[in-house]
């Protein structure tokens, strides 16, 4: 189990498995993260423990209309799509830039965000799809992401001295974190490897996107799929 797998499972509220416990006991970073998460949960429960006025539930239920059914994200055959994207990346040599000797600072910052800030971002809640499409659709259209995988979370977050948009994308092979950075211009693709996580930063029209996953092949495949000409 990687640090990323452990933290996502913890954040999802899953009971601690033997694999999670073994990882936590061997990893001081995740052990500290677990302690912080438990303290946050305790503080949150204490903050919510307030007396409810008599009859408040009935008054609330009578004043709220039933919520509409949430829109269902499309579920195309993503496995075939990602396999094709990976093949294109390898055939064109796009994957070669990943594994040079020097880690890129911006790609390292993306890994640092996943390790230290992703859980907090998810706990703060997601933004509506339409709002997200307006916010960064000119840099990376949501429709393109939905062809790659299922969007599990999207929200603005402070990153690299500005605002990025944090996206968690579920693909058949893994879960992938993307940091969409409108207005951030990079000259070329770059990469980093740290703490078992692989990252790439890809220039796009009007900005850039950072891609982080525990699999190098998945990062390469998603990189090929988010290109404007993909």
CATH number at residue 212: 3.40.1000
Say whether pTM exceeds 0.75.
Answer: no
- HSE-CB at 164 with a 13 A cutoff on CA atoms is 28
List residues bridging with 204 in a β-sheet: 207
Strand blocks (E) in 119-205: 150-159, 162-171, 174-182, 190-194, 197-204
Q: How many domains are there within the chain?
A: 2
73 inside domain = no
pLDDT in tens, 159-188: 989 999 999 999 887 889 999 999 999 988
48 inside domain = yes
Where the chain has pLDDT below 70, the residues are 12-13, 40-41, 43-102, 229-230
159 inside domain = yes
pLDDT in tens, 19-28: 888 998 998 8
Last residue of a domain, one of 11, 33, 63: 63
Q: Measured at the alpha carbon of residue 113, what is the angle toward residues 226 and 221, in degrees to the nearest 5?
A: 25
* Host domain of residue 18: 3-63
CB 208 within 8 A of CB 138: no
Q: Give the Å distances, CA to CA, from 228 to 113, 124, 134, 139, 209.
A: 25, 30, 18, 9, 12
pLDDT of residue 151: 93
Q: Roughly what angle, to the nearest 10 degrees, separates helices 3-11 and 18-26?
A: 120
Say which DSSP state 102 is in.
S
Please tell me whether residues 57 and 96 are part of one structural domain. no
Please tell me whether residues 87 and 193 are part of one structural domain. yes
CB 227 within 8 A of CB 207: no
Q: Rounded CA gap, 220 and 213, in Å? A: 10
72 inside domain = no
160 inside domain = yes
């Amino acid at each position: 189990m990687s640090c990323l797998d452990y933290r996502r499972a913890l954040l999802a509220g899953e009971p601690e498995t033997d694999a999670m416990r073994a990882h936590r006991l061997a990893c001081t970073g995740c052990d500290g993260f677990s302690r912080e998460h438990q303290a946050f949960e305790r503080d949150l429960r204490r903050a919510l423990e307030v007396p409810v006025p008599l009859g408040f539930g009935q008054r609330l239920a009578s004043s709220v209309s039933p919520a509409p059914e949430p829109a269902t994200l499309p579920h195309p055959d993503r496995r075939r799509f990602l396999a094709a994207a990976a093949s294109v990346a390898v055939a064109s040599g796009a994957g070669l830039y990943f594994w040079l000797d020097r880690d890129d600072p911006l790609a390292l910052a993306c890994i640092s965000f996943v390790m230290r800030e992703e859980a907090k971002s998810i706990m703060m809640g997601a933004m509506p799809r339409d709002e997200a499409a307006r916010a960064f659709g000119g840099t990376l259209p949501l429709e393109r992401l939905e062809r790659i995988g299922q969007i599990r979370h999207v929200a603005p977050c402070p990153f690299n001295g500005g605002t990025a948009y944090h996206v968690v994308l579920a693909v058949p092979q893994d879960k992938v974190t993307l940091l969409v950075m409108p207005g951030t211009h990079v000259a070329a693709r770059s990469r980093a490897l740290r703490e078992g996580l692989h990252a790439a930063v890809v220039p796009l029209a009007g900005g850039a996107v950072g891609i982080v996953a525990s699999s190098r092949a998945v990062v390469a495949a998603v990189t090929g799929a988010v290109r404007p000409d993909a």
